[in-house]
Amino acid sequence: MDPIITNGLTKRFGSFIATNAITFEVKKGEIFGFLGANGAGKTTAMRMLCGLLRPSSGTAKVAGYDVYTQSEKIKQNIGYMSQKFSLYEDLKVKENIRFYGGIYGLSDKAIKEKTTQLLKKLQMEAEADQLVSALPLGWKQKLSFSIAILHDPSIVFLDEPTGGVDPLTRRQFWDLIYEAASRGVTVFVTTHYMDEAEYCDRVSIMVDGRIRALDTPRRLREQFSAASMDDVFLQLAREKAKS
């Protein structure tokens, strides 16, 4: 069964429809790019999938669990990283890892092992005892991501993970994403960077609460006869502006 399946998933706030009957599925180990302009309904959709927001109608299953009734199960099986503030700035690097490991139910031994592995992978052994507030933004983001997948979730949701980060660090960040995907972790990522969209296996583009395009980046470029994902995105955005 696919890790994420939605059917007609809708969220209304009063008369405003933030997410309008979206239907898609994400395959295991896939890097799924979730694109859209600000206010297109991406965050609402993502919050419903993470069990943070109750949908108004439609169905969705994440990691095999129903978003209406099994949101606690979903939380156990997903990782989540938002653009900002997922770590405690007044805790040390090590303490953040221990805290998130602990609340996901890892054993003390597992926490210790994973901490060593993670610090080694990020080459941050020397910073283990530093407060997170002292780290550069790019490092924080890489650390956040690594902590979000510390408990080996089957899916990880990334909400604009590379906002405000320099291109080199972004590249390194995507290496981490690829590495996770190669281990079978499904990656659901929102971004505003169109070059990042090219890195995804498949991309969906939301306009006004609906999914207007969904395919591999290459086929989307063909379909819209565009040179880059940037063009695809702009075409859809302009279409909206005209209507």
Partner 1 sequence: MRTIRFILQKEFLQIFRNKAMVRIIFIIPIVQLLVLSYAANYEVKNMAIDVVDYDLSPWSQRLVHKLTSSGYFRLQRHTFNIKEAYEDLQRDKADVVLVVPRHFERDLVKEDKAPLQLLVNAINGTKAGLANAYAGSIIRDFNKNIRTEWLAMDERNAPPVIEVTYSNWFNTRLDYKVYMVPGILVVLITMIGSFLSGMNIVKEKEIGTIEQLNVTPIRKYHFILGKLIPFWIIALFELAFGLLVGKLVFSLPMAGSIWLIFLFAAVYLWVMLGMGLLISTFTETQQQAMFIAWFFVLIFMLMSGLFTPVESMPGWAQVLTWFNPIAWFVKVIRMVLLKGSGLANIQTYLLIMLAYALVMNGIAIWNYRKTT
CB of 156 to partner 1, least distance (A): 11
CB of 2 to partner 1, least distance (A): 20
CA gap 77, 64 in Å, rounded: 10
Given the DSSP bridges, would you call strands 16-26 and 31-36 parallel, antiparallel or unpaired? unpaired
Q: Residue 41: CB partners within 8 Å, gap ≥ 6?
A: 11, 18, 19, 20, 22, 206, 208, 209, 210
Beta-carbon count within 10 A of 37 CB: 16
CB of 203 to partner 1, least distance (A): 23
Nearer to partner 1, 87 or 203 (CB): 87
Nearer to partner 1, 73 or 210 (CB): 73
Nearer to partner 1, 82 or 172 (CB): 82
CB of 108 to partner 1, least distance (A): 9
Q: Which residues contribute to the site for partner 1 (CB under 8 A)?
A: 50-54, 71-72, 75-76, 78, 80, 82, 84-91, 95, 98-100, 102-105, 157
Nearer to partner 1, 54 or 218 (CB): 54
The DSSP secondary structure of 156-187, one letter per residue, reads: EEEESTTTT--HHHHHHHHHHHHHHHHTT-EE
